[in-house]
A and B are shown apart, each in its own frame.
Chain A
Amino acid sequence: MAARGVVVIGAGQGGLDTVATLRAKGYGGPVTLVGEEPVLPYQRPPLSKGFLTGATGHDELTLRTESFFAAQDIAVVRGDRAERIELDVQRVRLASGGTLRYDKLVLATGSRPRTLPVPGMDLSGVLTLRSLADAEALRGLLSGPPRQVVVLGAGFVGLETAATARGLGHDVTVVEAQRRVLARALTPQMSDWLAGRHRRQGVGLLLGAEVTALHGTPAGEVAAVQLLDGRRLPADLVIVGVGALPETRLATEAGLLVGDGVIVDQWLRTDDRSVYAIGDCARFPSAAHGRHIRLESVQNASDQARCVAAAICGESAPYTAVPWFWSEQYALRLQMAGLTAGHDETVTVGDPDGARFSVLCFRQGRLTGAESVGRPADHAIARRLLSSGTGPSPAEARTPGFDLKSFVIKPSSPAPAHA
């Protein structure tokens, strides 16, 4: 085993899973994880949900304890930032002045929130939600008396935060430029159903609405959101959830191939064979989509981390995982699997009125994706069917009494755990 080892830049889910999997697979060289934040790697999904309400504490967010990294002989560089990558000598320069040599480098730099190019974004009371520090600031503001909250963007972060804020008793309005919520992620059926659910909870949803400015008080605190159509929404807290941009500065400056993400091949290698990129920052070829895509999800970061760790350990295989995602809004479990865009037919199964249903998406008669609310079995089975390339036809799915469970072998009677 070479001596310089593996350096991973970015201590989010993908970075952590890379270093942990390397050790779990028996990698014996030096392993270093570099993160800008002062804290140990933590889970992000609860930041817009349980963490804001206080139901989820710091300890539950932390993915691994201090002693884990010591026991696994993983060096963790915290509160420092990778400043430059020198590909020719396989070295990373840190902002603190330190350097790290590597045999293999993994970029897991994630993404950062987009901002809106309108005046007033720097006013006090205008927040984005990405990091633990962001979530702590927001939790402080949401724990007080009722506020007039305006959420910009009806994506996952925006809607989850809106649902949480509403649940805490705040007055909440969501402003979205698209004509429907989660327009890029959900089918129109699911999108409309979810919008209805938010409205029933008392959330104002302004769709197809463009923000032109944020107005402030003389003291520099946000006071209102100005829309293009002349409406002016009073606000003392504005949460900006208008998407994310891949963190590609290091890769660009190093001269790696970049284009809305660090470009990698199906083994997640950049155009420098010693450097991989994974998670939110990576743009990879998707067999299902037929083109390069970038995915912002825990599943993608985690599965890509495992794929790269296996490759570094000599078990190279292309990345082919079926994408899946989940969201929690109010008491709803919303789960998505596969590809829901690009369908030419959908079949809804279950009971939308009772908040237990799935939208199955088909393209040329083949199942390509599924969206479920309150039907975890549909989601779980759809993921398996999508990874095996099988599934019902649209006609079968339309048959009265159809249940995806009929596509699964029933639990076997008592049997040895390992055949």
Chain B
Amino acid sequence: MAKITYLHPNGTATVVDVQAPNTVMRGAKLNNIDGIEAQCGGSAQCGTCHVYVDEQSTVPLPPMDSVEDDVLYGTACPRRESSRLSCQLPVTEELDGLVVHLPEAQS
């Protein structure tokens, strides 16, 4: 289990405990966090679960594969160095304390 913080564009934060084998995306969906759409259900097709990983975060994340990298070209809000698809971030103990910023829009 890991504690994940989702920061909304208006500055409010939602902190939830997410269990493995869920992803950071599914953690948001299970807690009905507005701002994650995930239309494709987590198969890296749609780019509507885009998050910005907090710049201060030191939580180790899995490397990005080429499909995720490609899908991130189409996000509704600008891609940044910190951009990830939250469906490609499986929750492990190591993710405890992860902070992600939600973009203004997903589609």
On A, residues with C-beta under 8 Å from B are 20-21, 23-25, 43, 45-46, 63-65, 68, 71-72, 298-299, 302-303, 306, 321, 324, 326, 328, 333, 335, 375-377, 379-384, 405, 408-409, 411-418
Docked pose: A49 CA to B41 CA in angstroms: 14
Query: Cβ of B31: which chain A residues have Cβ within 8 Å of it?
Result: 68, 71
Give min CB distance, A315 to chain B, whole Å: 12
B residues in contact with A43, CB < 8 Å: 41
Q: Given A299-B39, A417-B55, A418-B9, do A412 and B80 touch, yes or no (CB 8 Å)?
A: yes
Tell me how far the C-beta of B52 lies from the nearest C-beta in chain A, rounded to whole angstroms: 4
Given contacts A25-B34, A326-B40, contact A381 B73 (CB under 8 A): yes
Report how far A414 CA is from B40 CA in the complex, Å: 28
Residues from chain B with Cβ under 8 Å of A379 in the complex:
74
With A68-B30, A298-B39, A411-B83 already in contact, the answer to whether A335 and B45 are too (CB < 8 A) is yes
Out of B7, B41, B52, B70, name the residue touching A377 (CB < 8 Å). B70
Partner of B74, one of A23, A306, A380, A413: A380
A181 → chain B closest CB, angstroms: 21
Question: How far does the Cβ of A298 sit from chain B's closest Cβ, in whole Å?
Answer: 6
Residue contact A411 to B80, C-beta cutoff 8 Å: yes
Q: From residue A407, how far is it (CB to closest CB) to chain B in Å? A: 9
From B7, B34, B39, residue with most partner A Cβ within 10 Å: B39
List residues of chain A with CB within 8 A of the CB of B72. Answer: 380
Q: Bound complex: CA of A71 vs CA of B52, how far in Å?
A: 27
Query: What is the minimal beta-carbon distance from A159 to any residue of chain B, in angstroms?
Result: 17
> How many residues of B are in contact with the other chain, CB < 8 A?
37
Q: Shortest Cβ distance from B44 into chain A, in angstroms?
A: 8
**B96 CB within 8 Å of chain A:** no
Contact assessment for B70 and A414 in the assembled complex, using a CB-CB cutoff below 8 Å? no
Besides A45-B40, A414-B81, 5 more A-B contacts (Cβ < 8 Å) are: A63-B29, A71-B31, A377-B70, A411-B80, A417-B55
Whether the pair B73, A405 counts as a contact (CB closer than 8 A) is yes
A298-B40, A415-B81, A417-B52 in contact; A380/B32 too (CB < 8 A)?
no
Task: Verify A302–B73 contact, CB threshold 8 A.
Answer: no
Q: Is the CB of B39 within 8 A of A302?
A: yes
CA distance A63 to B47 in the complex (A): 18
Query: Whole-angstrom distance between the alpha carbons of A63 and B29 in the complex?
Result: 8
User: In the assembled complex, which residues on chain B have CB atoms less than 8 Å from the CB atom of A328?
Assistant: 43
- Distance (Å) between the CB of B23 and the closest chain A CB? 11
CB contacts (< 8 Å) of A415 on chain B: these are 80-81
A64-B30, A411-B83 given; A302·B37 CB < 8 A: yes
Asked whether any CB of chain A lies closer than 8 Å to the CB of B92, the reply is no
- B residues in contact with A382, CB < 8 Å: 74
- Docked pose: A335 CA to B73 CA in angstroms: 15
Are B82 and A383 in contact, with the CB atoms below 8 A?
Answer: no
Contact of B46 with A by CB under 8 A = yes
A-B contact pairs, 29 of them (CB 8 A): A21-B34, A24-B33, A25-B34, A43-B41, A45-B43, A298-B39, A298-B40, A299-B39, A303-B39, A326-B40, A328-B43, A375-B70, A376-B45, A380-B73, A380-B75, A384-B73, A384-B74, A384-B76, A408-B73, A411-B81, A411-B83, A412-B78, A414-B81, A414-B82, A415-B80, A415-B81, A416-B55, A417-B54, A418-B9
Instruction: Kindly report which residue of chain A lies nearest to residue B55, judged by CB atoms.
Output: A414
B46–A20 contact, CB under 8 A? Answer: no
Minimal Cβ-Cβ distance residue in B for A321 = B107
Do B40 and A417 touch across chains, with their CB atoms under 8 A apart?
Answer: no
With A24-B33, A299-B39, A326-B40 as given contacts, are A417 and B46 in contact (CB-CB < 8 Å)?
A: no
Chain B residue numbers with a CB within 8 Å of A302 are 37, 39
| A303/B107 in contact, CB under 8 A | yes
Residues of A within 8 A of B32 (CB): 20, 23-24, 68, 71-72
Interface membership of chain B positions 1-21, coded 1 if the CB is closer than 8 angstroms to chain A and 0 otherwise: 000000101000000000000
Contacts of B7 in A (CB 8 A): 417
Which of A21, A303, A376, A417 contacts B71 (CB under 8 A)?
A: A376
What residue in chain A is nearest B53 (Cβ atoms)? A417
Note all chain A residues with C-beta closer than 8 A to B107. Answer: 303, 321
- Which residue of chain A lies nearest to B7 when distances are taken between CB atoms in the complex? A417
Supposing A417-B52, A417-B55 touch, asked if A412 and B81 sit within 8 A by C-beta, the answer is yes
